[in-house]
Amino acid sequence: MKSTQGYLANSTSTMATTKDFGCTVMELRHLMELRSSEAVAHIDEHYGGVLGLCEKLQTSQVEGLSGNPADLERRKQVFGQNFIPPKKSKTFLELVWEALQDVTLIILEIAAIISLGLSFYHPAGDENETECGQSKVSVTDEGETDTGWIEGAAILFSVIVVVLVTAFNDWSKEKQFRGLQNRIEQEQKFAIIRKGQIIQLPVFDVVVGDIAQVKYGDLLPADGILIQGNDLKIDESALTGESDHVKKALEKDPMLLSGTHVMEGSGRMVVTAVGVHSQTGIIFTLLGASQTDKGKKEKTGKPHPGPPSPLLPLP
């Protein structure tokens, strides 16, 4: 009963917090799916232009956010954190099972089982038979019979060694890769304007409503809308597959997407979607490359207790 009351209280506080802003997460996600003139028309019609959108997000185009911890935490609760939870890593036993699926190893396993079975099989009858006054030995020497199982056991032992070594190598490489990836992500910073000052902020701390300074060579950490640009050209091949650089302008195409590179120019954007709600996060979720509460719920078929969370904690 207490957990139900806590859930209702958290849900009510989340709804109340959402009403503090003039737009919801789903509205911003729908907005970032639009392109070019369609996006410009949608912004003008529903938000009164980029300035109106900034007012709904309670941010300033010039000063940015105030940096108040309570306000930042509220934005994380409503719009999510700028973090895409990685897919759960495979256990050592799962890697062992995958290694066993190799066709060559399966053939060797079958051959080893057959060899062991034949080594322990003895046909019924006397070992020695007398025919025409002569002694005749059936089957083979006793010593060879006793050691016939060694061949099959050796094959099985070789298969086990190969499987364990392969699984250990895969587990070790995956662990090193995740460690390197986490270190790179933690060290990545981006230029954000807060209290009218440009600061270098870890990408994890970027929230919806932040004013970001973009320039040549930057990898955009979140989705946003351009509020000021100077010959800005973006490489969107990571998302769209198109190799041509896309020119961004307030009047034509102000949509800036996470995971894209700034190839020319500079500008400022207001962050509108982060983490799993950004275009990169949505693609990762659809491809199954990220682990979310929704994905876990669909996988287990059971609802999770407590209020739904857009993100999972770091593994």
Q: 135 CB contacts (<8 Å, ≥6 apart)?
A: 128
Q: Does residue 165 sit in the same domain as residue 228?
A: no
Q: Residues of the chain whose pLDDT is less than 70?
A: 1-19, 121-148, 180-186, 289-315
Q: Is 3 a member of any domain?
A: no
Q: Is 286 a member of any domain?
A: yes
Q: Does residue 78 sit in the same domain as residue 210?
A: yes
Structural domain of residue 222, as residue ranges? 10-82+206-293
Q: 88 CB contacts (<8 Å, ≥6 apart)?
A: 291, 315
Q: Does residue 172 sit in the same domain as residue 230?
A: no
- From 185, 215, 236, the end of a domain falls on 185
Do 112 and 156 contact (CB within 8 A), yes or no?
yes
Q: Does residue 263 sit in the same domain as residue 121?
A: no
What domain count does the chain have?
2
Q: Is 61 a member of any domain?
A: yes
Query: What's the pLDDT at 304?
Result: 41
Query: What's the pLDDT at 272?
Result: 94
**CA torsion through residues 281, 283, 284, 286, sign:** positive
Q: Is 44 a member of any domain?
A: yes
Q: Is 162 a member of any domain?
A: yes
Closest C-alpha to 271, from 287, 259, 255? 255
Q: What is the pLDDT of residues 91-149, one digit of tens each?
A: 888 888 988 898 998 898 888 888 888 777 666 654 444 444 444 444 445 555 566 67
Q: Does residue 75 sit in the same domain as residue 217?
A: yes
Query: What's the pLDDT at 216?
Result: 92
Query: What's the pLDDT at 122?
Result: 64
- From 121, 155, 185, the end of a domain falls on 185
Q: Does residue 78 sit in the same domain as residue 96?
A: no
Q: Does residue 103 sit in the same domain as residue 139?
A: yes
Query: What's the pLDDT at 313?
Result: 37
Q: Does residue 75 sit in the same domain as residue 100?
A: no
Q: Does residue 177 sit in the same domain as residue 101?
A: yes
Query: What's the pLDDT at 36?
Result: 87
Q: Is 161 a member of any domain?
A: yes
Q: Does residue 223 sit in the same domain as residue 279?
A: yes
User: Distance between CA 171 and CA 165 in Å, rounded?
Assistant: 10
Q: Does residue 98 sit in the same domain as residue 165?
A: yes
Q: Is 135 a member of any domain?
A: yes
Query: What's the pLDDT at 144?
Result: 53
Query: What's the pLDDT at 92?
Result: 87
DSSP the chain: -HHHHHHHHHHHHHHHHHHTSSS-HHHHHHHHT--HHHHHHHHHHHHSHHHHHHHHTT-BTTTBB---HHHHHHHHHHH--S--PBPPPPPHHHHHHHHTT-HHHHHHHHHHHHHHHHHT---SS-SEEEETTEEEE-SS-HHHHHTTHHHHHHHHHHHHHHHHHHHHHHHHHHHHHHHHHHHHHHH-EEEEEETTEEEEEEGGG--TT-EEEEETT-B--SEEEEEEEEEEEEE-HHHH---SPEEEBTTTB-EE-TT-EEEEEEEEEEEEE-GGGSHHHHHHHHHT-B--HHHHHHHH-SPPSSS--SSPPP-
Q: Is 298 a member of any domain?
A: no
Q: Does residue 119 sit in the same domain as residue 179?
A: yes
Task: Identify the CATH number of the domain in which residue 266 sits.
Answer: 2.70.150.10
